[in-house]
Structure 1
Amino acid sequence: MSTSPVNRLRRLAVPLLALTALLLPTVPVPASAAPAATSAECAPPAAPNVPGARVLSVTAQAKPAGVIESPWFPPIAYPALCEIKVTLTHPGVNDNVLVAAWLPRAGWNGRFQGVGGGGYSMGNFDFGLAMALRDGYAAATTNGGVGDDGLSPASWALGPDGKVNEELLTNFSSRSLHDMAVVGKAVTAAHYGRPAGYAYWNGCSTGGRQGLMNAQRYPGDYDGILAAAPAISMPRFLVADLWGQVVMRQEKVLPTNCEFEAFQQAAIKACDTLDGVADGVLEQPLRCRYDPAALIGQKIQCEGKEITISRATAEVVRKIWAGHPSWSALPKSAPFSVVADTQPGPSGKRVGVPNPIADNWVRYFVEENPDFTLDTVTYRDFNRIAAKSPAKLDRFIGTDNPDLSAFRRAGGKMITWHGWTDPIIFAQGTTDYRDRVEHRMGGAARVDDFYRVFLAPGVDHCGGGTGPAPVDPLGALTKWVEQGKAPETLPAATQSPTGTPITRNLCRYPQTSHYDGKGDPNQATSYHCTR
């Protein structure tokens, strides 16, 4: 049974980390300056000094080894730990922020890891911390004072006056990230009697955006940043995620999800061999020029019935693939199931189901109206919303400043990887940002010295899909930071539907992978990177 789009979004809001670390076990690179340590004590340290904030409480609790279960991912076994919780507030804000740190009782690798969030959740208090602890890290995450509902900011987005709560939005976008780094590193040092040798950020989606914000605004907080599928330019891409819903409503055509899948698969089939091999994965989906009109008149089986693809449905697909001028469009290799989901309504008539994260962004932050609905939004209304969102909110959470000179001066290294079939945060936002960083900071060679981007063909949001996803991007980052070994490629892996192992080496942007024409197309050694 396929996972519904809403459950897929919920999945994103739960793990809240660079999820592809789950594909294969990670093997952390030993930190030579920080040998393993043990600690039998679990006592609350003195309240850390957090600039701009007042610490309200510090507690500590010893916890035994355990296993974190998830309905979507393999279980995570973690060792015994000391959990330290710090609550703080920012004077004049009236907020209550929790920072939680998990510190391994034995086998600490000498490193600290900041754990990123997803959706409207700033952090991950179980799954993400368990993953970091499993690999020997001392780790911390925070709720930023905004709770942990990944799909909706309803509990905090608007103040008593019905306007955007700018202080809590500031917590969510930036301020609480620095507080968490300060607190997490301080309690780690107090617990082990010495500071961590290296500090790393690890996040995907919102966590990827947080990684970029760390590099842009707090360049000294982390030695290495893994910012996967980053939610760059939230005020733009979240509105763009609603374009398909507006198109369907305005054209009064709501195709079934299997009709949309027919167009996606037809495009993949038509463009599959552009990269030299027919494997169901588009290496460069933006090169695909498939015309949806080619499917008009085709008959497909859909929900137990035979459906003939209509001209009106093909036109809706054309408009969705064309996108809105305010942002990049859904790649033709990506599923429609987030941006153009439809379901049978109460009366049996199909209704559009918007991406809840995007819908709530417009509802609460742009329109400041909890009762707002897309049902009456015209193309003209959508133009207004698309312009209003960044004009109003970029200053808080745009996270697209291309000036990373302070991060470079601090000696930081950053890796971003992004799936080319990501149906929520289109990968073009990442490539556009990298291009602008190059323009600002002296070209590709200079930027490659500290910031590298890798695209994963066929991979969905933070993992999944048909293509190979990175096996251990955090391990590649630690080697770069601690051993000076900059990654030329990222090893990636998946399995075919029949269980055949498939490997690739994801190429450093702007290079792409090309089949050599004679080797095993399932093996990375049969491909080379080329411009």
Structure 2
Amino acid sequence: MRVSSIAGALALNLPLVFATPQPSFQSKCEALSTSFHADDAQVLVAAYVTAGTNITFPESAANTCPKFVISLADICRLRMNMTTSPTSSVIVEAFMPVDWSSKGQRSLMTGNGGLGGCIPYGDMVFGTSLGFAAIGHDNGHAGDNGLPFYNKPQVVKDYVWRALYKAGRLGKKAINHFYTGKIQKAYYMGCSSGGRQGLKAAQDFPDEYDGILSIAPAIRYEGLSAANAHYFKIFGVPGDATFLTLEQWQKVHQMVIAQCDGIDGVLDNVLEDPMKCEPRPEALLCGPGESWAANQCLTSAQVGAIREFYQPYYGNKGKLIMPRMNPLTREFLGFRVTYGGVPSYFSEGWYKYALYNDPSWSVAADFNLNTYDYDMKKDLFGVSTYKTDLTDLRNSGTKLLQYHGLSDGLISSENTITYYNDVSRTMGLKSSQLDDFYRFFPVSGLDHCYTGDGAWFVGGPVQYSAPGALSIDPSDGALMTMVNWVEQGIAPVTLMGRKLINGTVMGERAHCKYPAKQTYKGTGDPDVASSWECRS
């Protein structure tokens, strides 16, 4: 849902090196329109693009997908329409850089966000700047909304897993056809819905990739949809006794900081271990004769809603639907998407058009715990993405690296922590044994995929849209950390994070591998990584 900002940000951060056009590369690229053949795909565009070019896309003006991106390398752009069934198709793009053979002959599949209809061009051009041949797709429909699912189960199937699987195969086939050499290593990275896609690959077809970056994954999908609907129902709409304005949520944010920021020994607006934080919203309760306008306090109804918000969400028969929301968020993404007076487009779009095929259905009027039960029973095409036996992943030799922001205001980081621990129990493996193929890094001070008050920049998906990001050496970023693990056997113990504010790095922190806790040593500048250590 930040894709549209990526193009603009990239346009402002272009330390580009303009290469001399290579006629042989260009002519071979343009010839792809006739030289590349696949039974299920039609070539739409085969064009040579130089670094610095504003690449525009034919996506509809009616959707929120980006309409342009600035190329960061000289590339061959291949756009295809891939048929997946008689009633569905997927747009697939491959960006293949001139400088590929000397950079390891790698491919990079990129993940989608939200309801998945926007090609992640920003991540693709970043990948090409590092020499990856990058692949992206529209997940079988245009635009980040659920309407294309209406009475089209094959489009839903593409969204859940088939587009990822088939686009990956088609993209790699095109790359192998275009270059003299063959792909040596294949990688995947994505956040949110893209994180779910990464885990879908890890669970169901790990042989397709050598390394998978699955970030803040939207797994336990039915639970996430239900929780988003639940949050809207808790707070209601403007005018309801339980509703909080954005200004009031900012007061809640400050309340959490006041109550919990000191737990880790450093007052920096960052919670190193939010699971230790149990906010007490009653601290904001208005006394007799007090009001928000005069005293910046909240009513009993509002305080009760906040307390419910910060509790795990349980369904019928006491079944856990979703862990509690993180107690601290900076960007208030959840307010804009989930509990700001409008039902979550993510939940409502799924329920209306994929689950019920009923445009008259609404979260406000129709959602209840039975909705979740029905969604779980159907589990359309395996959308839950919650298989906890990763034996096939382990046996394939594929590496899985995850991180999740501990200030995520849209998908609770406890959801990923729970998944990791469920994998440990299911497989009967201690963390030291999971380490061979699966490592997870909680990232303090990171909101949903992007931005935050802490050392949030770790060089992962969508993050390179930030001002100043392209000037940071990517060698210790999440993507190249994965490459080093796969290709050199250098398994990460920490994940370097940077506090990136308005284009300037203001501090660093080496985020610890779970279950170790990031702990302040008690002395030293908290913005210096050496002032912290990982403790079990």
Q: Same fold (TM over 0.5)?
A: yes
Does residue 374 (structure 1) correspond to residue 363 (structure 2)? The answer is yes
Alpha-carbon distance in structure 2 between the residues aligned to 1:180 and 1:429: 28
The 1:46–1:220 alpha-carbon spacing in structure 2 relative to 1, beyond 3 Å, is farther
Match of 1:327?
322
Does residue 60 (structure 1) correspond to residue 46 (structure 2)? The answer is yes
**Cα deviations by residue, 1:334-389 (Å, 9 ceiling, x for unpaired):** 3594445599xxxxxx9812232223222223333223333335xxx521122222
Match of 1:283?
272
Does residue 453 (structure 1) correspond to residue 457 (structure 2)? The answer is no
**2:498–2:505 CA contact under 8 A, matched in 1:** no
Helix, strand or coil for the counterpart of 2:224? helix
**2:246–2:340 CA contact under 8 A, matched in 1:** no
Counterparts of 1:229-268 in structure 2 under 5 Å?
229-249=216-236, 252-268=241-257
Counterparts of 1:306-321 in structure 2 under 5 Å?
307-321=296-310
**Cα deviations by residue, 1:92-126 (Å, 9 ceiling, x for unpaired):** x3222222111113355211111111112255253
The gaps in structure 1 that reach 5 residues or longer are 1-9, 26-37, 160-164, 344-349
Does residue 114 (structure 1) correspond to residue 109 (structure 2)? The answer is yes
Opposite residue 127 of structure 2, the aligned amino acid is A
Counterparts of 1:48-87 in structure 2 under 5 Å?
54-57=40-43, 59-66=45-52, 77-87=71-81
**1:170–1:396 CA contact under 8 A, matched in 2:** no
Alpha-carbon distance in structure 1 between the residues aligned to 2:370 and 2:45: 48
Deviation, 1:488, is 0.2
Counterparts of 1:108-507 in structure 2 under 5 Å?
108=101, 109=103, 110-121=105-116, 124=119, 126-147=121-142, 149-150=143-144, 152-154=145-147, 156-159=148-151, 165-249=152-236, 252-297=241-286, 307-325=296-314, 326-334=321-329, 337-340=332-335, 352-377=341-366, 381-393=367-379, 395-443=381-429, 444-469=431-456, 470-471=458-459, 472-495=477-500, 501-507=506-512
The 1:227–1:500 alpha-carbon spacing in structure 2 relative to 1, beyond 3 Å, is closer
**2:43–2:81 CA contact under 8 A, matched in 1:** yes
Helix, strand or coil for the counterpart of 1:322? coil
The 1:453–1:319 alpha-carbon spacing in structure 2 relative to 1, beyond 3 Å, is same
Residue number among 506, 520, 529 corresponding to 1:524 in the alignment: 529
**1:419–1:459 CA contact under 8 A, matched in 2:** yes
Opposite residue 437 of structure 2, the aligned amino acid is F
Number of aligned pairs? Answer: 484
- What TM-score comes out, normalization by structure 1 length? 0.83
The 1:420–1:130 alpha-carbon spacing in structure 2 relative to 1, beyond 3 Å, is same
Counterparts of 1:91-102 in structure 2 under 5 Å?
91=85, 93-102=86-95
Helix, strand or coil for the counterpart of 1:102? strand
Alpha-carbon distance in structure 1 between the residues aligned to 2:55 and 2:178: 28
Helix, strand or coil for the counterpart of 1:528? strand
The 1:439–1:493 alpha-carbon spacing in structure 2 relative to 1, beyond 3 Å, is same
The 1:144–1:259 alpha-carbon spacing in structure 2 relative to 1, beyond 3 Å, is closer
**2:156–2:354 CA contact under 8 A, matched in 1:** no
Q: Answer 1 or 2: which has greater helix percent.
A: 2
- What TM-score comes out, normalization by structure 2 length? 0.82
The 1:68–1:341 alpha-carbon spacing in structure 2 relative to 1, beyond 3 Å, is same
Match of 2:2?
11
The 1:407–1:498 alpha-carbon spacing in structure 2 relative to 1, beyond 3 Å, is closer
Alpha-carbon distance in structure 2 between the residues aligned to 1:447 and 1:68: 43
Helix, strand or coil for the counterpart of 2:189? strand
**2:330–2:407 CA contact under 8 A, matched in 1:** yes
Alpha-carbon distance in structure 2 between the residues aligned to 1:474 and 1:413: 12
Opposite residue 389 of structure 2, the aligned amino acid is D
Alpha-carbon distance in structure 2 between the residues aligned to 1:276 and 1:500: 22
**1:225–1:413 CA contact under 8 A, matched in 2:** yes
Greater displacement, 98-107 / 333-342: 333-342
Deviation, 1:524, is 0.8
Deviation, 1:260, is 1.8
Opposite residue 353 of structure 2, the aligned amino acid is Y
Deviation, 1:496, is 6.0
**Cα deviations by residue, 1:260-286 (Å, 9 ceiling, x for unpaired):** 221222112211121121111111112
The gaps in structure 2 that reach 5 residues or longer are 16-23, 57-64, 315-320, 460-476
The 1:183–1:289 alpha-carbon spacing in structure 2 relative to 1, beyond 3 Å, is same
